[in-house]
Amino acid sequence: MTTDFTFQDRADKKKYVERMFGQIARRYDFFNHFLSVGFDYSWRRRAIQVLRSRFPNSPTSAGGGGRGVDSPAILDIACGTGDLAFESLTQMPGAQITGMDLAQPMLDLFAQKAAEKHLTITIEKGDVEALHYADNSFDGATIGFGTRNFTDLLIAFTEIHRVLKPGGVFVNLELAKPRAFPMKQLYRFYFDSLLPLVGTLFSRHNSAYKYLPDSLRKFPDLEALGEIMTKAGFREVKWETRTAGIVAIHSAIK
Q: How far apart are CA 91 and CA 226, in angstroms?
A: 26
Q: How sure is the predictor about 148, in pLDDT bands with cuts at 50, 70 and 90?
A: very high
Q: How far apart are CA 51 and CA 143, in angstroms?
A: 11
Q: How sure is the predictor about 38, in pLDDT bands with cuts at 50, 70 and 90?
A: confident
Q: How far apart are CA 4 and CA 215, in angstroms?
A: 9
The DSSP secondary structure of 163-203, one letter per residue, reads: HEEEEEEEEEEEE----STTHHHHHHHIIIIIHHHHHHHHH
Domains and CATH numbers, the chain: 10-177+220-253 (3.40.50.150)
Q: What are the residues facing 76 on neighbouring strands?
A: 99, 142
Q: Rounded to two decimals, what is the model's pTM?
A: 0.88
pLDDT digits (tens, 9 = 90+) for 104-121: 999 999 999 999 999 999
Model pLDDT, residue 4: 60
Q: How far apart are CA 151 and CA 131, in angstroms?
A: 14
Contact 141, 163 (CB under 8 A): yes
